[in-house]
Structure 1
Amino acid sequence: MSDDDGRGDDGRGSGVRTALVIGGGVAGPVTALALRRAGITATVHEAYPTAADGVGAWLGLAPNGQAALATVGADAAVRAIGEPVPGMVMADGAGHHHARFGGFPELPATLTLPRDRLYRALTDRAGAEGIRFAYGKRLVAAEETPDGVTAHFADHTSATADILIGADGIRSTVRTVIDPQAPAPEYGGVLSFGGYADVGSDAGVEPGTMYFAFGRAFMGYWQGADGRLIWFAGLPTDTPPSPSDLARVPAAEWLSRLRDLYAGHVPGERLLRHTGPDDLMVVGRMERMPSVPRWYRGRMVLVGDSVHAPSSSSGQGASLAVESAVELARCLRDLPTHGEAFAAYEALRRPRVEAIGHTAAAVNEVKAGKRDAAAPSFAGPEDMLRPLHFHRIDWEEKVRAGRG
């Protein structure tokens, strides 16, 4: 099979040769890279005027996500900047450890890294492959013709290609263009925060291990390369402030509220005591996408968080976005029309991403104090992670209509 002719073994292909990718986050550049390997030329259109430097908190890229990145040649660039964290400890707020997992020895470790560094690495890799990025292109409308689709942007410019791919995140404009009745993100009952705690030489953690402490309040943490502890936590609230109201609250006030909530929590009280206002990250509302009825319409299709954001509780958001980008490219490479390709792509991806999303929603209920943290679903990290981390996409395998 050729990597650059855009067609399957029987020489059909979808006839798609050009694509507009809307959104330059994680899914955008990976989708463009995967399409390039399938013989499709893509341009990434990003709403913001520059790349997302300095935007976002830390995230994890699991072994399955790294494997999908290897398909498009971007794994080495991400390994160069990520910090490996193979281990996991499940604990409670009193400091008791209930389950321990050292990682799968046959797989690479999960990588942790700031979201903006992942953006930059993927964008640089795509640029090195000749993929063009257009910034300041906020989508406002799209219209189809028999031969293509035209995107109209807020700066009064437009662009046309064979297909349009919405990689524009959890508040996707493309999702509402495809279906004006599409659901909005679902709030998980928790405001998310992160930070850095300089606790000195006696951190009390094992390097390369991430700790999850459930209970009256939840906190996760691990030791960064500089020796500080990196933590993430939630502040349960049924009525979250709007993004603008959230931004108006001083960091010191949020830190005070978190310290009150985590008083007596092991290790939350200690970590927050050693975190200053300048080291606090106000991430915002923890959200996920509920089941999206329509993944595509005509020449438009969704990928990544625009269609299946599982919330940060899954540890799989970025990895699932990368997987979907690769699967979409495979389907467009092998099936005779873009409509059949989109249908096969949805059939391949929907069961997996929705199962992961449902599990993350249950974790969100624990973090919001609405479910017992001792539920059996949190007891076996190895059994829970195996179907996630061992998932692989065989790029060379031909996709057939209705299945991979």
Structure 2
Amino acid sequence: MTRALIVGGGVGGPIAAAALKRAGLEPVVYEAHSGPGEGLGAFLALAPNGLAALRTVGMLERVRAAASFPTTRIEFVNGSGRRLGLLGGEDHLPAELRGVTINRAALQRAVADSAVDQGIRIEYGKRLAHYTESGSGVVAEFTDGSTAEGAVLVGADGIHSAVRRTLGPEGPSPSYVGLLGIGGYSPAVDAQPTPDATTRMVFGKRGFFGYQTAPSGETYWFGNLGHSRLTREEIAAHGDDVWKEYALELFRGDLPDITRIMRACDPAAFRPLGIYDLASLPHWHRGRAALIGDAAHAVSPASGQGASLAAEDALVLARCLRDIRTVPEALAAYEQERRDRVERIVAEGRRRGAQKAGSANPAALLLRDLTMRVVFELAARFGSHAWIHDYRVDFESRAATSEGNQR
């Protein structure tokens, strides 16, 4: 049986392992950390296209059980609370494919446990140093001195991918999109709850804020703050309390619920992270190695598609390795099939993010709100985002190279 080495045990790695096992390969996952993301505080949305991919690899039920609540609609308002648009509504979909919000640690645990249940080996504490390859195989070398050998290597190790540094050192680095991200969980406060299964997104005067009320009354929230690029050390030097006051000041004058929610949250939630994307690499594969997920095409959180795209990648990659004669041909076919869709979504995420920083110019804010109302009205009327959420990978169909060659 052909062994596949998967570097990265976050979200994409275990999903890729499950897909590759279904394709007849023997996958092994190598993760640098000591476990599947324990203690991660961030949360994310899983869209119908990502949930459909999880269903294909037998992980959907466990992931849905770990989810916090359904999120099937997004209500957009300006800083004064005036509605700009409402998107979503997934009643036409099977209940199991309707969007959810899930804590990232819970998602990583769910896909890792599901992979193990499917007989897949995950080795923790294995940080990749580099890899080498020959015509017949690839050898991964880890920082603890151990090695692993297989026929193909998959980099599912995120935006700062060690696999990418070896595969394509000449490629661009991730790009800062001009925003810092904060977020956390606040206990029940005196704030207007969001409608059922709906996230409220606020285009404030000087920042962007999103939140949803959990069934428990707790509020899941995040903020995007326009700011010049800072290193982690520069961010830490300010202290969490300083960042909390900075965020409160940015949203002063917007919906009072925003500051009520933030004041109830621990200062640790306000230490920001820079938001980056990776729009286009010269190539996602070389020889017997390929990249999936954020390692190949990191998307801004504004797209809501990071985890879902990684799951789609996993299915397409596995199908190509199953059906195409040689590994290099299969990896080339995978990239060819995925690149246009993914880069279009990366661009969409960056476009959405560009509206989040706000402005000190009232006229600019008025123009932004008018533009957003038109955009959301057209999207709601014509389903202009359906191409993202309605996409499905047909895993049972045969993959082919551009020349039509199959295994």
TM-score for both structures, normalised by structure 1: 0.91
Q: Deviations over 1:16-67 (max 9, x none)?
A: 8111100111110000000000000011111112321112400011011000
Secondary structure of the residue that 1:260 maps to in structure 2? Answer: helix
Aligned to 1:268: 258
CA contact (8 A) 2:138 2:149 kept: yes
Match of 1:78 among 63, 74, 88: 63
Match of 1:331 among 320, 323, 327: 320
Aligned to 2:25: 40
Instruction: Note the C-alpha offset of 1:214.
Output: 1.1
Aligned to 1:286: 275
Aligned to 1:67: 52
Alignment CA distance shift 1:141-1:248 (3 Å): same
Aligned to 1:233: 223
Once residues 133 and 328 of structure 2 are traced to their aligned partners in structure 1, the CA distance between those partners, rounded to angstroms, is: 14
Alignment CA distance shift 1:90-1:202 (3 Å): closer
Alignment CA distance shift 1:244-1:198 (3 Å): same
CA contact (8 A) 1:32 1:131 kept: yes
Instruction: Note the C-alpha offset of 1:248.
Output: 4.2
CA contact (8 A) 1:62 1:316 kept: yes
CA contact (8 A) 2:244 2:270 kept: no
Alignment CA distance shift 1:116-1:342 (3 Å): same
Letter matched to residue 395 of structure 1: F
CA contact (8 A) 1:101 1:381 kept: yes
Letter matched to residue 220 of structure 2: I
Q: Deviations over 1:118-155 (max 9, x none)?
A: 00000000011111111111111111112100011111
**Of 111-120 and 196-205, the range deviating more from structure 2:** 196-205
CA contact (8 A) 1:149 1:163 kept: yes
Letter matched to residue 61 of structure 2: A
Once residues 300 and 41 of structure 2 are traced to their aligned partners in structure 1, the CA distance between those partners, rounded to angstroms, is: 14
CA contact (8 A) 2:184 2:221 kept: yes
Once residues 304 and 234 of structure 1 are traced to their aligned partners in structure 2, the CA distance between those partners, rounded to angstroms, is: 22
Aligned to 1:27: 12
Bigger fraction of residues in helix? 2
Q: Deviations over 1:352-398 (max 9, x none)?
A: 11111001111221123478453454544542431111111111111
Once residues 142 and 317 of structure 2 are traced to their aligned partners in structure 1, the CA distance between those partners, rounded to angstroms, is: 24
TM-score for both structures, normalised by structure 2: 0.90
User: Is 2:94 the partner of 1:105?
Assistant: no
Letter matched to residue 342 of structure 1: L
Letter matched to residue 104 of structure 1: E
Secondary structure of the residue that 2:330 maps to in structure 1? Answer: helix
Once residues 131 and 381 of structure 1 are traced to their aligned partners in structure 2, the CA distance between those partners, rounded to angstroms, is: 41
Instruction: Note the C-alpha offset of 1:202.
Output: 5.2
Instruction: Note the C-alpha offset of 1:179.
Output: 1.1
CA contact (8 A) 1:203 1:229 kept: no
CA contact (8 A) 1:99 1:381 kept: no
The 5 A counterparts of 1:177-196 are 177-196=166-185
Instruction: Note the C-alpha offset of 1:201.
Output: 6.2
CA contact (8 A) 1:90 1:99 kept: yes
Aligned to 2:307: 318
Secondary structure of the residue that 1:367 maps to in structure 2? Answer: coil
Q: CA RMSD in A?
A: 1.9
Aligned to 1:58: 43
CA contact (8 A) 1:183 1:290 kept: no
Identical residues among aligned pairs (%): 38
CA contact (8 A) 2:321 2:331 kept: yes
Aligned to 1:12: none
The 5 A counterparts of 1:159-170 are 159-170=148-159
Match of 2:2 among 2, 14, 17: 17
Secondary structure of the residue that 2:312 maps to in structure 1? Answer: helix
Once residues 116 and 384 of structure 1 are traced to their aligned partners in structure 2, the CA distance between those partners, rounded to angstroms, is: 32
CA contact (8 A) 2:185 2:219 kept: yes
CA contact (8 A) 2:190 2:260 kept: no
Letter matched to residue 233 of structure 1: G
User: Is 2:85 the partner of 1:95?
Assistant: no
Q: Deviations over 1:89-144 (max 9, x none)?
A: 11111100121235121223211011010000000000111111111111111111
The 5 A counterparts of 1:239-388 are 240-266=229-255, 267-277=257-267, 280=269, 282-369=271-358, 372=368, 374-375=371-372, 376-382=374-380, 383-388=383-388
The 5 A counterparts of 1:111-150 are 111-150=100-139
Match of 1:175 among 155, 161, 164: 164
Instruction: Note the C-alpha offset of 1:242.
Output: 1.1
Aligned length: 387
Instruction: Note the C-alpha offset of 1:215.
Output: 3.5
Once residues 61 and 366 of structure 1 are traced to their aligned partners in structure 2, the CA distance between those partners, rounded to angstroms, is: 23
Instruction: Note the C-alpha offset of 1:163.
Output: 0.7
